[in-house]
Amino acid sequence: MSWVWTDVFSHPLWAVSTVILGLLLRSQQRGSWDIRACFVQLKGKTAIVTGANTGIGKFIALDFARRGARVIMACRSEARGSAALQEIRKRSGNANVHLRLVDTSSLASVRAFVEGVLREEKELHILVNNAGASGLPGDITSDGLEVSFATNHVGPFLLTNLLLDLLKRSAPARIVNVSSVNHWRGMVNFSHFKGENLAYTMDSVYNHTKLHNIICTNELARRLQGTGVTANSLHPGVVMTEVMRHYNFLVRFLFNLIGIFFFKSSEEGAVSTIYCAVAEEMEGITGKYIDSDCSLVLPAPLARDPALAVKDFEFCERLTSKL
């Protein structure tokens, strides 16, 4: 009786074993910190979450709302933001959740958003820079910046720095920057910010921006020592979100197909961010990189270079001051 190797994959046991393996791998991604066992309340606290209308950001905002915080959802789309706003208010029972529009790829939009926050808010205790995108086609923004760098790093960098005084006045306060394990495949080349010397292969540009996130977070933490404001970065895990929406259909199809078995849901992916933002274990901890299981781990060597961190931070300061 003849057979071919493809018969193995058509056997029912193959599908069953794949599902079991996937469930085992996903169970291993969960850390020891149990979000349901964290009873920290945020009543009287104000939190900003960028990219809060979908994916990880929406579950972060929902968690903060359930804890009683005043939540500002910083979103690019008014329609999608409004829908998420209504859902979060209903599910949390907290009416003190508000939508403010911002497009982090536009520095003018970031400045306008911050002006509104400073005009309307007396305190800010948690800032979560979650908004980001992967696979954006190569383009240059009106500010002269490569669009992925503007969206994922320069815009959030400016937003954070413009809010620092308010955060300091509200201390203790926490800054949480969502990065990615993909930063290990990133590199630092300052010409990238202007769209030069970039190869648009899969997620390479995204990887570079995520490395810059961690480098600048570490330098920001050093500068904030003694202020009562902490700054940390994290990896949320490999998550089924819309971060892949700019890739072609085949890539998205394969990503989602594999993800059914192996990747985290958006709700699971929000856990490490929430841990950094509210957990008592993170009180006073700053300049660290947290893995998807809420453990403290070392980032890539480039992200641990203090001289490079100073250079990177100062470069971004000069860049945003001119725009």
Give the whole-angstrom CA distance, residue 169 versus residue 278: 19
Pairing of strands 126-129, 46-50: parallel
Which residues 6+ apart lie within 8 Å of 315 measured at CB? 190, 193
- H/E element, 13: helix 12-29
Q: What's 32's DSSP letter?
A: S
Using an 8 Å Cβ cutoff, are 52 and 58 in contact?
yes
Active site residue 206: yes
Computed from CA positions of residues 297, 302, 307, 311, in that sequence, does the dihedral angle turn out positive or negative? negative
Q: Which two tokens stand for residue 120?
A: 């309307």
Of residues 213, 273, 211, 212, the one with CA closest to residue 239: 273
Using an 8 Å Cβ cutoff, are 49 and 19 in contact?
no
User: What share of residues in the chain are helix, strand, coil (percent, to 5)?
Assistant: 55, 10, 35
Q: Which of 200, 206, 275, 289 is catalytic?
A: 206
Torsion of CA 150, 151, 154, 157, to 10 degrees: 170
Of residues 54, 91, 88, the one with CA closest to residue 71: 88
Residues with catalytic function: 206
